[in-house]
Structure 1
């Protein structure tokens, strides 16, 4: 046994008052926000967000900002946004101008600069009237006539902002609260009757009265002699509430009420108070030191916060909160639950934190060493937290917060409580049990040592232990008998283990999703195929019969009974996906990560998307047109572009659209993210219905489909009457035309046949003439060779030459009358000719003929020999040393190619020799062959002819290559 060494070291403990705050997304000029200074914000009935800024009026549709101006506008800054019952957006400026948006244009309604004299007035549009609330005067203006029908003046008391409650409007000053009723009548509602002087009789400096409502009661706040005071209105009676000390002297721009909470927008950020027994209790504070001018909650439950100099902040999910932890202690590596109010965590800096969620207190204990906390576990029986680090280990007494060293407890991969008095300790090479702060050494003797572990879990009802090793998952019974858990004959590679109330043990994996295990076998499997956003799963945690899942790209909640999966991502406010631990305290789920500690409220963590889609543009032939539900277009108006959008924060950042054009393609297609338009080019004539619908995580209903109908008419020449008339005219004309043409065509046909016959006869005559021209030429050259041998007195060679020559002449005479001969005869003819030439050239001359004998062809007669003769006479005859000649045949389905290669002196040298010898004409044989090939080309319409290439190496002639392409016939 290992003796525990207690140092009883009480280290420095830092106590921090630490509130949780929502997770914000910051909009600034860097990411497209058109200004940084904002005074007001509203969401209209169509889902557009309107921004009143120093630079003007802007509309945000979830994708882009659009600015609205008026040419008569004297000040760019815009204030006091509101929507009237006709859906028009109203605003004003410090120059006394009041505007409204009509269609897509900002219209000036009235210029009240003379009356207001530089005041920034409040106003409200009610029914057919515009009510302007100046500092000391109220005006009632008819919207149709622009006539002031009523005004009320109070020269001593300033009026506050109007507060609309159902169909009535309340406006207050120091003496009275006035009411504009449903008939647009201005009346006194309540006598305020608050003192206007202090106890010494000095007149109080009283500011505007601001009315708001909490629950069923009206309240108002008023700054009196520099102090913000709060009052309750009840049955025409006014009762003063306790002063909110933190906001006593603050500048308050706006207040927002949600439930029983009041959120105050101030020059020092957001202050959230809950009204308890007519007293305001501070709940949280965030966006400190930011000048917050307006708080708005939109229809998708996003919270918007405008500022005077920092752009706009948005909370996409108020149910996700971040715990303020110093940057040094943010990277949390391990998390555990102590009780319903307290969490304990360790971080990569080696420190341990205790977080009391009920008191919002965080105590950071700096341990003696700075190595990472690999795992920690709270043991109930001795009220002790065991801390395993990379190189050292400690215990902390949770009551006294005293730290003690603890040996041989380092580098834990997992710590699991067994029966409240034992601690299962697994590392990268061992598994042990700690009981009464000592290790029992003999329990795991039968287990293979040296295996890395990842996670462990204890099933109390069956007294079974699950341990995830590097190569498999093992379940141990109460006697520590091991049984591997296999799925489809393969091991399961596990990262995290938990258990739901229904007795199913759930395991997460590196690449295969999550598995549900019961009675030693897998009974459920979830992956990307049935709802997970990734198969690479991190930490999982059971909450009764629900399962919280941390994935590499989201956090999901699985209801194991209904099998419903819900998803949260960073766009919803998730701080990080690098989750190291999950713990559940009452109605919140806490996640530790590399970015600290954040929580999700279990009551309403997921939003129910309700996207409303609308059309933003219709372009026909690249020209904007008025958006309607039905279009009747001409045949050439067939290039159509359709734009669409869903308002709301970040819809277009993570969701897509489905669309189809019925009549063209009935299949639903899906856009890419950020794509809000579809274009069709050159649509044929017909009837079409374009349909589009938003797509989010849950399938939308059919009533979300928006449609536009198109009819593209046929051109007049395709109309039935035009086609029928044209057919009759064409048919009649055709009869007349062909009656007149038949005789002419018959005569032309007879003339054409006679012409073709003459051309064929001419081609045949030309071929015969060419062969007769070539044969005497060859005989002349052959007799010259015989003469040379006779003069050399080589009698035997002369005799052999004469016999071969006779055979060659006989074959020449036989073949010259035929257009095609078998390739075997042609090859025999060439071999005979080359044998004769070898007698003349001697042993220095070598030749080869390569041909695939499996092919039986007929080729043009006596067409190859002149090229061979040309190579011998002009190329090889003048070369000293070895003389090489190679003949190769290859063919395709339509042509035969013969390649003749020699290593002679080359064409340039041969030409020089020919010029010295006084020969200035083209060789006869080649001229004859060229003409013959032209005739073949006319007959067979193939790429027939020859190409001569010079073989040059290092600028020295190495011979000549002739590529002859000729027709052939296959013999079957």
Structure 2
């Protein structure tokens, strides 16, 4: 069944579209605030905001008002070529070749960055569909992904066949630019001959076309044969082309707007100089003109229906009624009824001869009035006329009537201008219920309703007639309709009501909605024609939508309408409109408020002493719904606010966290909360948590002060003890210095003895060399011994100088070697001066001096577990043999060992016992000695 309905819908729409004369549109001119009737360019940004380039500058439209942008640096005000940068800025060009950047409501000239500097003013610029920008200046073309943030590079810097580059145009992802007689395609770097002044190109039916301004013909790119599809436009000058898709192209011409789609060609707005067009996010088309402002065309297939030979054009239609899926009746204000088909064929089937409007058309059951198995139609106008299937009148009621509805069998309920009651069609007899003007009648589930101009009367199958009222009093009913257990009541004085199980409830207080003329229920929606237009109400949500405004219908009353599963017919004072019902209802389902945009300046925090909160907002909506704005604080009552001015002032609430909610629609609704933001009012300082905590902490602070005073006294005592400790440390340093001063003369004594030996041996050369080395050694010793710590590198250098001096005394029989571990940084470590030399001296004097044969000494420096390890090893006679010597050096030996040990002990006191001295003399042999010193890097101790 669904497939059949869809096929039928497509068939009906396709059949009726061919008879469209002119689309329904809204014109915006200076009367509506348009700053200039000369509009050159239209643009829709990423947020859905509509921009206009006009003779008076650049403007944006919020659906209600036009907002201008100041151009303080412009040489001219006329604007065109509006585009958007990836970062959100708006770019446009005036007629003086100035390109501007619009950001946060302020404009400035574009300064395009290139490798040769900043350039401004461009003959043309454009943005391709892949987002790349192109700028033309003096036949040089620059390109950049974002002219606001990125630098531009040159992609073309020469004339084409001697002619300057004049225009830029992009097609899909390739950019074409034009000289006087050639076209250059940057995609493949090809040059095509162009004997015409071509400026427009585009894909159509999978072919790339170029447009010739000279004779308004389109050509395949590189081919001079004119395409026959545009033969009807040969004499029309085309200003702009809009390629909506590969199957639809729009031509903005000096004689209207033309569209070619799937082989069908249509022209709208004949006589208008059309400059540009686009489609917005809501599906509307916008068309700009050179002298008549802009037009909005709803994209829901809404057209005037004129019938064959335009028989219904500008006729005052008072009633419409579907006869079947292919035809419908049209009643007019002069007492005539026409039968029209979906193909556009229209014939007059009834003329009452009275110039009274046809108000209702009803289908009566077969067999009525003795017409066996034949349909009977009732046309309600000056009288009630009954017609057979051939539209031959078989009976009529002579009294004028306003409405007729079936009660049972041949018994009907009727209303007229001065009486209401029951009418038996078969006997043509009336039973008057009340001599009073009736406005509406209804029979729902056996219950009868008659709306008079002073009350609403109801009669159930088990009760007599009684007047029903609401909390507001008597009900003046204008239209009635029933759906299941609910009766909807449109009133003249109380808006829209419902009647359920004997109880009346208010649904909408809007008098525009309440003044209903005709109502109908379809697929869960209630449609109401009123004096203000046609409305739709979503069942259960009370989502009220002004369909007349959405469709761009002329302002004013909609006296009648009818619909089936695919088409909606709307009767107006100046003709009949038809539209695609499925597209309308799909739009109503998805529309809500998601296509409306708004930005606010609500802050997250306010001070308590701010008397008022001012909320400013920007608002734009192109659905043509006259929404109202409602707001509330913290689930409180809704308050209404006009959309303009776009500023809300709220009395500052109490300190704390709050939520501001805003709702758009005809009525406030929790289901349509469109904007919600939390904010906070800061409390005064004496009500803040930190102030209360501070007051509570005062006793604790007093206790803390007492204990802190005691701790301070303890610290003073600790500092005194520390000073005593430092004094003791200073005393130990002085002892270490004194010890070092004792060791230095001891070393001098040994060195002078060696020189004396050379002199006694009459070895002047050796004595001379020894004295030179000795002088260097003395100088280094004096320098180093004045420091508490020296680098390991300086220690090794002094040691090497000393060993070279001693090697002379041993007549080159001494073999010594200093081994440094790989990767060890000698400049990183700090050691006490002359730490190693005394141990080396002991090894030479007491281990190697008395050794016969080869004498070897090894000094190894390495790092292990963040400790510096220094080893002094010799192959001398060993400690035991050295101690057994009974010569005059015994006293010297005792002093050296004692001095070194004392020095190590003092250093451990200073550096918390971090130095370790180990002397190893293996028990399994009696020769050789190993001394190992381990210490950290004293610089970090």
Q: TM-score range by the shorter chain?
A: 0.5 to 0.7
Is the deviation greater in 706-715 or in 341-350?
706-715
- The alpha carbon displacement at 1:309 in A equals 0.7
Query: Hey, what does 1:187 align to over in structure 2?
Result: 187
Question: Closer, same or farther in 2 for the Cα pair 1:507/1:29, shift >3 Å?
Answer: closer
Question: Closer, same or farther in 2 for the Cα pair 1:120/1:566, shift >3 Å?
Answer: same
How far apart are the structure 2 equivalents of 1:290 and 1:211?
24
412, 415, 432: which is aligned to 2:401? Answer: 412
237, 253, 256: which is aligned to 1:251? Answer: 237
616, 633, 636: which is aligned to 1:643? Answer: 616
How far apart are the structure 1 equivalents of 2:270 and 2:278?
18
2:85 is the alignment partner of 1:84:
yes
How far apart are the structure 1 equivalents of 2:637 and 2:129?
48
310, 316, 330: which is aligned to 1:345? Answer: 330
Query: Hey, what does 1:294 align to over in structure 2?
Result: 276
695, 703, 728: which is aligned to 2:664? Answer: 695
SS of the aligned residue for 1:187 comes to: coil
- The alpha carbon displacement at 1:243 in A equals 0.9
552, 564, 568: which is aligned to 1:589? Answer: 568
How far apart are the structure 2 equivalents of 1:207 and 1:581?
51
- The alpha carbon displacement at 1:383 in A equals 7.7
After superposition, residues 235-274 of structure 1 pair within 5 angstroms as 243-244=229-230, 246-252=232-238, 253-255=240-242, 257=244, 262-274=249-261
CA contact (8 A) 1:51 1:59 kept: yes
Question: Closer, same or farther in 2 for the Cα pair 1:85/1:540, shift >3 Å?
Answer: same
Query: Hey, what does 1:73 align to over in structure 2?
Result: 74
CA contact (8 A) 1:657 1:671 kept: yes
Query: Hey, what does 2:198 align to over in structure 1?
Result: 207
Query: Hey, what does 1:106 align to over in structure 2?
Result: 108
2:545 is the alignment partner of 1:542:
no
Question: Closer, same or farther in 2 for the Cα pair 1:651/1:244, shift >3 Å?
Answer: closer
Question: Closer, same or farther in 2 for the Cα pair 1:615/1:503, shift >3 Å?
Answer: closer
CA contact (8 A) 1:300 1:609 kept: no
Query: Hey, what does 1:567 align to over in structure 2?
Result: 545
After superposition, residues 667-678 of structure 1 pair within 5 angstroms as 670-678=640-648
- Unmatched tracts of structure 1, length 5 or more: 1-14, 180-185, 197-202, 619-627, 725-972
> Paired residues, what number?
645
CA contact (8 A) 1:230 1:243 kept: no
CA contact (8 A) 1:141 1:149 kept: no
How far apart are the structure 1 equivalents of 2:576 and 2:570?
6
Deviation string 1:665-690 (CA, Å, 9 cap, x unpaired) is 98875534424224479x79978878
After superposition, residues 287-686 of structure 1 pair within 5 angstroms as 287-315=269-297, 318=300, 323=305, 329-359=314-344, 368-377=353-362, 387-390=379-382, 409=398, 411-415=400-404, 427=416, 428-429=418-419, 440-441=427-428, 454=439, 484=465, 495-496=478-479, 498=481, 500=483, 522=501, 527-528=506-507, 534-543=513-522, 545-551=524-530, 555-558=534-537, 562=540, 565-568=543-546, 571-572=549-550, 573=552, 575=554, 578-594=557-573, 596-599=575-578, 601=581, 602-606=584-588, 607-610=591-594, 611-615=596-600, 641-649=614-622, 654-658=627-631, 660=633, 670-679=640-649
How far apart are the structure 1 equivalents of 2:680 and 2:414?
69
Query: Hey, what does 1:281 align to over in structure 2?
Result: 264
Deviation string 1:319-353 (CA, Å, 9 cap, x unpaired) is 65555689995433333222223332223344444
- The alpha carbon displacement at 1:124 in A equals 2.1
Question: Closer, same or farther in 2 for the Cα pair 1:357/1:363, shift >3 Å?
Answer: farther
How far apart are the structure 2 equivalents of 1:204 and 1:417?
75
CA contact (8 A) 1:16 1:363 kept: no
685, 698, 704: which is aligned to 2:675? Answer: 704
CA contact (8 A) 1:548 1:558 kept: yes
Deviation string 1:195-236 (CA, Å, 9 cap, x unpaired) is x7xxxxxx964633421578xx576462486243376x9xx9
- The alpha carbon displacement at 1:308 in A equals 0.7
Deviation string 1:714-755 (CA, Å, 9 cap, x unpaired) is 79xxx989x99xxxxxxxxxxxxxxxxxxxxxxxxxxxxxxx
SS of the aligned residue for 1:603 comes to: helix
How far apart are the structure 2 equivalents of 1:434 and 1:192?
85
Question: Closer, same or farther in 2 for the Cα pair 1:512/1:326, shift >3 Å?
Answer: farther
How far apart are the structure 1 equivalents of 2:335 and 2:420?
23
How far apart are the structure 1 equivalents of 2:233 and 2:401?
49
Q: Greater CA radius of gyration, 1 or 2?
A: 2
SS of the aligned residue for 1:345 comes to: strand
How far apart are the structure 2 equivalents of 1:417 and 1:67?
59
How far apart are the structure 1 equivalents of 2:474 and 2:628?
37
Structure 1-normalised TM-score? 0.53
Question: Closer, same or farther in 2 for the Cα pair 1:55/1:111, shift >3 Å?
Answer: farther
- Unmatched tracts of structure 2, length 5 or more: 1-15, 367-373, 696-941
How far apart are the structure 1 equivalents of 2:234 and 2:413?
55
How far apart are the structure 2 equivalents of 1:546 and 1:349?
32
Question: Closer, same or farther in 2 for the Cα pair 1:128/1:472, shift >3 Å?
Answer: closer
Question: Closer, same or farther in 2 for the Cα pair 1:270/1:205, shift >3 Å?
Answer: same
Query: Hey, what does 1:934 align to over in structure 2?
Result: none
Deviation string 1:121-142 (CA, Å, 9 cap, x unpaired) is 3522799964136898754369
Question: Closer, same or farther in 2 for the Cα pair 1:321/1:210, shift >3 Å?
Answer: same
CA contact (8 A) 1:487 1:522 kept: no
Query: Hey, what does 1:837 align to over in structure 2?
Result: none
How far apart are the structure 1 equivalents of 2:345 and 2:184?
43
Question: Closer, same or farther in 2 for the Cα pair 1:488/1:375, shift >3 Å?
Answer: closer
Query: Hey, what does 1:855 align to over in structure 2?
Result: none
CA contact (8 A) 1:509 1:538 kept: no
- The alpha carbon displacement at 1:307 in A equals 1.2
- The alpha carbon displacement at 1:629 in A equals 5.9
- Point out which structure has higher relative CO (alpha carbons under 8 A, 6+ apart): 1
Structure 2-normalised TM-score? 0.55
Question: Closer, same or farther in 2 for the Cα pair 1:453/1:703, shift >3 Å?
Answer: closer
CA contact (8 A) 2:242 2:249 kept: yes
CA contact (8 A) 1:430 1:452 kept: yes
CA-atom RMSD in angstroms: 5.9
CA contact (8 A) 1:641 1:678 kept: yes
Deviation string 1:107-162 (CA, Å, 9 cap, x unpaired) is 243699xxx99996352279996413689875436945566453465448988763
- The alpha carbon displacement at 1:32 in A equals 1.8
SS of the aligned residue for 2:235 comes to: coil
- The alpha carbon displacement at 1:33 in A equals 1.5
CA contact (8 A) 2:253 2:274 kept: yes
- The alpha carbon displacement at 1:450 in A equals 5.9
After superposition, residues 849-928 of structure 1 pair within 5 angstroms as none
How far apart are the structure 2 equivalents of 1:128 and 1:548?
45
Query: Hey, what does 1:124 align to over in structure 2?
Result: 127
How far apart are the structure 1 equivalents of 2:509 and 2:463?
32
CA contact (8 A) 1:612 1:704 kept: no
Question: Closer, same or farther in 2 for the Cα pair 1:135/1:373, shift >3 Å?
Answer: farther
Is the deviation greater in 295-304 or in 381-390?
381-390
Query: Hey, what does 2:176 align to over in structure 1?
Result: 171
- The alpha carbon displacement at 1:79 in A equals 1.2
- The alpha carbon displacement at 1:484 in A equals 4.8
- The alpha carbon displacement at 1:75 in A equals 2.9
CA contact (8 A) 1:265 1:292 kept: yes
Is the deviation greater in 204-213 or in 23-32?
204-213
SS of the aligned residue for 1:704 comes to: strand
CA contact (8 A) 1:555 1:568 kept: yes
